[in-house]
Amino acid sequence: MAPAPNPGPSASTVATGVAGIGFWRLSAVAAPHLAALAIMYQTETDFGARTGFVLSWGILNFFFITLLRRPALSGALSLTLVVVLVLLSQLKHSVVQMTANFVDLMVIDRDTAAFLFTIFPNLRWSVISAGLVTIPLMYALWWLDPFRIRRLPALAGMLACLAALVGYAITWPDEAWRGYYDDGYLSKFSRSGVTAVSDFVHYGFMESAASVPERLKVPLVDSCHPAGRRPNIIMIHDESSFDIRAADGIKVPPGYGSHFQSFDGKERKFLAESNGGPSWFTEYNVLAGLSSRSFGRFAYFVTRIASGRVERGLPLALRRCGYSTLSLYPAYGAFMSARSFQTTTGIQRFLDARDLGAKDVEPDAFFYDKALKLMAEQPVNSPLFTFVYLAANHFPWETKFRPDLMPSWRRPGNAASVDEYLRRQAMSAGDYFSFVAALKKKFPSQPFLIVRYGDHQPEFSPQLLDPALDEAGIGKKLENYDPRYYATYYAIDAVNFEPVKSPTVMDTIDAAYLPLVIQEAAGIPLDPSFEEQRAIMLRCNGVFYDCKDGAEARRLNRLLIDAGMIKGL
């Protein structure tokens, strides 16, 4: 007689097993999604941003499921990437007031990693510790995950989410100015990926004309023969400085405004290409003599991209005329690839904050004193170009910088941050006056041409200029390059030297023309690329990128590419 069939486990037994064992495994699958939901509501501020977050979350999960087939591990890996992105965005915003962008991945380099590990020395060990904790957890999830999902449906899900994200980002592109908001980390990162890849496919990192009939002659090393004695040239980066009287109702101390005047008593305008933060935009302008706006959505990374690629600029032109070139930089040289970029444009000796012995933010007098000592080491008959990069007037203005300095200062009676800004401007003006006096005393027979410029307006200037506008209205004006938000100043001074008169020394110039103005004022013969740019400047009356809707800038970029001065862009 055949044995009775085994009835198998009863329904109650199965339910007990699921309840006892499956609960924790189901929790392992659900927990990453619940955590992501909490992150979304905490960091994404509106429906559009949350839509971008959900689509990005779907792409990550379906991608890992396609590779691994395990939903619990895929969710954990996706959550890890999102958390890392949020933390890196917050870290980046705390340093440069802008959240992480997809282009950060496109132009990642050793300088960026070196900078992070320099300013955060414990970061290396934090990364190692996180890895030691995360890897065993992922291994455990690999074995504990009871579910297996087929790859083809997962791939279809990923492609569907990706298509939806692309369509959403193209239909409602994220405004560039939102990158300055400390929120929306994942949605902004994902949407920037769509636009960045689209722009890169369309024109690469930098806009340029498809072709031009002309060709620039490559300048010869020994072709520069200036008439008369070459002056030592000092270019001063005056951090966040502009004439605040451009805003209505601001009370200023007596004598305010003289700092913005040149040797001839005129106050001239300098149209920067950034507002409130990225000094390296102007650094690119005044060294390369080109527009950061030619890089479109990649402009924020302009010095990193241009490093090793844009071999044209003021220092190189001056070296052709026998100048030595020196730069004093107030931060770490790896920041935004400053050291690499400046040496590419012709700086021979680059000294950063560590080289100079700077402790945190130093007053302007610190860098002027260092410059005087370094200039004294230069042979008398060998002209020197010195780039002095100041930082004392950097944000925040809510705290008092070096309260031991200027103890007699009296507040004019504006908002506290505005009065602190004015105090720092007064400190800068006093330090500059002392620097010029020291030049006259230490080098009584040597000629000097000194050119100063404000690299951008302070971050609070739009609220002063247009107090009735909200953040969105201000953001649109910034995006449209309203000149009121970008105008600072440039001033020309001289010691034992009379600046050469030139039509390029205009009342208002775009930042990219400053190298040309300096060479003209110093009496330095122009190389073919600056001769061409001079013609553009005179045709466009001091406007560069906006002249003919960018056609002049694109044409010059193509000429420089064809001449081998711009490579790989």
Q: In this predicted structure, which of 357-361, 370-374, 382-386 has the lowest mean pLDDT? A: 357-361
Rounded distance between C-alpha atoms, residue 403 and residue 426, angstroms:
13
Average pLDDT over residues 148-168: 92
Higher pLDDT among residues 279 and 360, named by residue = 279
Number of Cα atoms under 13 Å in the Cβ half of residue 375: 26
Segments making up each domain of the chain, as ranges: 19-203
Q: What is the β-pairing status of strands 508-510 and 269-271?
A: parallel
* Sequence-separated contacts (24+) of 435-442 with Cβ below 8 Å: 435/364, 435/365, 435/368, 435/371, 435/372, 436/493, 436/495, 438/368, 438/372, 439/372, 439/495, 440/495, 440/496, 442/372, 442/376
User: SS3 string of 428-469?
Assistant: HHHHHHHHHHHHHHHCCCCCEEEEEEECCCCCCHHHHHCCCC
Q: What is the β-pairing status of strands 508-510 and 324-328?
A: unpaired
Q: Which two tokens stand for residue 297?
A: 């959505």
Rounded distance between C-alpha atoms, residue 326 and residue 306, angstroms:
19
Q: In this predicted structure, which of 10-14, 52-56, 251-255, 492-496 has the lowest mean pLDDT? A: 10-14
Other CB atoms within 10 A of residue 553 CB? 28
> Which residues lie closer than 8 Å to 291 by C-beta, 6 or more apart?
273, 285, 510, 512, 544, 545, 553
Rounded distance between C-alpha atoms, residue 176 and residue 476, angstroms:
10
Inter-residue contact 215 to 388 (CB < 8 Å) = no
pLDDT at 10: 47
Q: With CA atoms as reference, report the closest residue to 432 among 413, 414, 454.
A: 454
Rounded distance between C-alpha atoms, residue 375 and residue 380, angstroms:
10
Phi-psi region of 48 (alpha: psi -120 to 50; beta: other; left: phi over 0): alpha
Q: Is pLDDT at 103 greater than 80 in this prediction? A: no
pLDDT in tens, 392-417: 998 889 999 999 999 889 999 999 99
Q: Is pLDDT at 201 greater than 70 in this prediction? A: yes
Q: With CA atoms as reference, report the closest residue to 188 among 316, 297, 262, 96.
A: 297
**pTM given for the model:** 0.82
Average pLDDT over residues 288-295: 96
Q: Which two tokens stand for residue 216?
A: 């620039």
Average pLDDT, the chain: 87
Q: Is pLDDT at 428 greater than 70 in this prediction? A: yes
Q: Which two tokens stand for residue 475?
A: 């953001």
Rounded distance between C-alpha atoms, residue 431 and residue 422, angstroms:
14
What is the rounded radius of gyration, in angstroms, for the C-alpha atoms of the chain? 29
